[in-house]
Amino acid sequence: MPEALSNASRSTIVKRRRGHLLKGLRSLAQDPQAIQEQRARLWSWSKRLLVFPLFALLWSPRYSLFAQTTGSPVWAEIVQRLDSGKVKVGDPILAKLVLAWKSPACDLRAGAIIQGHVVTQKAHSHTEKTSEIGVVFESGQCGGRDMKPLFLTVAAVVAQPASGYSDLPDTDELRPLSSAVGLVLNAPVPGTGATGVRSVSQAAAAVYAEPSRAKAPIAVMPGQVVGIPHLAIAVGQAADGASILSSSGHNVQLNPGTLFALVPNLRAGTTVVADTKSANPDSATANPVAKVTEIPPPSIADETELCVVPDCTEAFADSPVDRGIQNAQITLSLKGLGYVPPLSDREMPGFDYDASIAYLGPNHLLFIFNPHILVPRSGQEAANFPKLRIVRGVLIDLENKKIVKTVDWRVPDSGRYLWPVGENRVVIHVGQELRVYGPGLQLRNQIPLGGQLAFLQISPASEYFAVGVIHERHSREIHRQLEEAESREPEEDVEMRFLDSQFRVLTTIVRSSRLTPPVLLNEGEVNIPSIGRNHWRIVENSWAGQRRVLAVATSTCVPRAESLPGNLLFVVGCDRQTGNRWYRILHGDGKVVLKGWSSSSELEQSAGGNVGSHAFAIRIAEVTTSRLERSIFKPSDLKSARVTLYRAENGRRIFSIRLPDPVPAVQTFAISPREDQVALLKADEIAFYRVSAAQ
């Protein structure tokens, strides 16, 4: 509407238009044929006046954006900061959809990218009191990773929604795997009384599970700005249907996460009608989750927490056991194998996977390490796998103290490559596949990946495996722009394949790379959502579709959880009063078995065990001076590492030792299958210590 019109003129026009509308509706109600003719006439005009939806918004200020368009607008959050004092005409603008949107010409999933650019720019100055940025969007990821023409105009702006209980990512409760794909494991099979796996054909073949995003407002007026003082918008007033964002007395400044409501503009080649049903894709596939009556869950890491002997034990830093067992039963020198510990002045953000050990049977140990040799690679490997390395596996016969087999593997990244899975088997990540090796390091199985491995998560009994494979969402150019805008790796798709104990695919879902990998217990998946400031709920969503709260926790950081053999859960969080780390071992039923704390000079709490075992081990490293969590350190900063073996039943300590100058790697300790021996990797040797049942 022209700005020269007064408020009284607007009111007169609106009343007159309503009168005509009511009169037309009365006549149409009495003549069905007229209704059809009127519909045809409106359709004809909609094809001629492609801009009608946008101008309908501008000429009907009393009605919301949702009510005035033929479907929902496109809701997207910008990924980079926009500042009229810094941007230039032609600069690209990227935004990410917070809700799926569909039209006959374009299907945008939640998380899809739309791209636009700056068409006008004015910075605030002494002579220029009003600043502005003109923006228009011209392409989007319609139905895939490639950008296709999609001409959109910004119709409203909403401030970045305030976060809920936490400013940290991945703190919302995720949809359980069972509801995401309709997969039910160990549930009653109708008509048989038995339990089993629901046919995958009865479930969705692939479902996109996205992290929680900002919720779009229920209603927004065209030309409206919500939550951003001094900002105004002139919808579609610049060339090519661009909207002008302006501010008096300040530079226009929009933070990442600011929401745009967009509608098709004049340059759209066809009439774009949004499919409102697609705005909430999860509703079509989500299954109801059954609730069960349960006793209140235990509270951990707060004032009400109880740890009562004999069912629970408190971990202490020192005890007579630490000083009583220092002589190794066996030692194996590593000098002749080509292993070299990391340089003492190397800066490290955390312990790595440069070396690992695992038992492969009661009398054989597998030692894998990076020999740091030159890695021959093709041009394609150099481009796609910049962190490609060679690791060397050495199988050692402990009885005869000799090397049984040596093999070199090409590992495409710097992450974990070794997983013990019980029955004297290990899984190794080699190239573009997972390999299963048995006794004698004999190849048993090969699992092709078809992409970069994101994670491998295993249930405590090794009955289920969750394999995550990364698939690029974006073209290389969009990937580069997103990386520059967000200063981190762009969000990608992770295809998660759910496998059984024989490594057969049960089902596949697609999740966002921003979501944490699933934590699997024998009976379900564990999730830790925020329920208040510094308060968390540890939830198990069972394969049978039931939801159970295992515990509630108090932590100033997002608690980290991993499952252990014996259906145990290892949880690490941050103490509210001291800021130091606490850790807990929980049974699968939520009962606390062990609780402990780490001082500010301790870091890298990790745990491990064997499938079918009755014990677990915890390793905690100590540095020479106190430091913040995740701060950079050097191997020379490490003072010692304490490895302690506990009974899974009640957390009773049965073995403990402190090693000076530890190797800064994650997998440096292992428990023998008979639980009568512990292997520890040192800088120049592997030491084996006897564990007595009496201890």
Q: Is the pLDDT of residue 642 over 70?
A: yes
- Model confidence at 4, pLDDT cuts 50, 70, 90, reads very low
- Model confidence at 52, pLDDT cuts 50, 70, 90, reads very low
Q: Is the pLDDT of residue 50 over 80?
A: no
The DSSP bridge partners found for residue 586 are 569, 592
Q: Is the pLDDT of residue 69 over 50?
A: no
Measured in degrees and rounded to the nearest 5, phi and psi for residue 313 equal: -130, 145
In eight-state DSSP terms, residue 633 is B
Helix (H, G, I), strand (E, B) or coil at 278: helix
Residue 70 is encoded by which pair of tokens? 């033929």
Mean pLDDT of 40-49: 36
What's the burial of 593, exposed, middle or buried (CB within 10 Å: 0-12/13-18/19+)?
A: buried
Segment among 159-168, 185-194, 202-211, 619-628 with least mean pLDDT: 202-211
Mean pLDDT of 85-102: 94
Distances (CA, A) of 210 to 99, 478, 537: 10, 20, 20
Residues 611, 421: contact at Cβ < 8 Å? yes
pLDDT per residue as tens digits for the range 293-329: 445 676 776 655 666 666 677 776 554 444 434 688 8
Transcribe 11-63 into DSSP letters. Answer: HHHHHHHHHHHHHHHHHHHT-HHHHHHHHHHHHHHHHH-TTHHHHHHHT-TTS
Helix (H, G, I), strand (E, B) or coil at 283: helix
Q: What are the strands, taking DSSP E only, across 472-613?
A: 493-499, 505-512, 519-520, 524-527, 530-532, 535-542, 546-554, 560-564, 568-574, 581-587, 592-597, 602-609
Give the 3-state DSSP-derived string for 142-167, with helices as H, strands as E and coil as C: CCCCCCEEEEEEEEEEECCCCCCCCC
Q: Is the pLDDT of residue 210 over 50?
A: yes
The DSSP bridge partners found for residue 524 are 542
Segment among 5-9, 256-260, 433-437 with least mean pLDDT: 5-9
Q: Given the structure tokens 């392409």, which residue do they identify?
A: 139
Segment among 317-321, 351-355, 553-557, 585-589 with least mean pLDDT: 317-321
Give the other-Cβ count within 10 Å of 57's Cβ: 26
pLDDT per residue as tens digits for the range 331-340: 999 988 889 8
Amino acid at 110: A
Amino acid at 604: E
Mean pLDDT of 394-408: 94
Q: Is the pLDDT of residue 11 over 60?
A: no
d(CA 403, CA 475): 47
Q: Is the pLDDT of residue 524 over 80?
A: yes
Cα angle: 73, vertex 75, 80; to 5 degrees: 145
626 vs 670, more confident: 670
Q: Is the pLDDT of residue 287 over 50?
A: no
Q: Is the pLDDT of residue 434 over 90?
A: yes
Q: Is the pLDDT of residue 18 over 60?
A: no
Distances (CA, A) of 290 to 178, 589, 674: 11, 18, 40
Mean pLDDT of 276-280: 39
Mean pLDDT of 148-157: 94
Measured in degrees and rounded to the nearest 5, phi and psi for residue 461 equal: -90, 10
191 vs 614, more confident: 614
Q: What is the mean pLDDT of the chain?
A: 80
Mean pLDDT of 577-591: 89
Q: What are the strands, taking DSSP E only, across 336-464?
A: 352-359, 364-369, 389-397, 402-411, 418-422, 425-430, 433-438, 442-448, 452-458
Q: Is the pLDDT of residue 56 over 90?
A: no
pLDDT at 64: 44
- Among left, alpha and beta (phi > 0; psi -120 to 50; other), residue 675 is left
Helix (H, G, I), strand (E, B) or coil at 8: helix
d(CA 598, CA 94): 43
Cα angle: 107, vertex 72, 101; to 5 degrees: 15
Residues 90, 135: contact at Cβ < 8 Å? no
pTM assigned to the model: 0.76
pLDDT at 165: 40
Give the other-Cβ count within 10 Å of 111's Cβ: 20
In eight-state DSSP terms, residue 9 is H
Q: Is the pLDDT of residue 66 over 50?
A: no
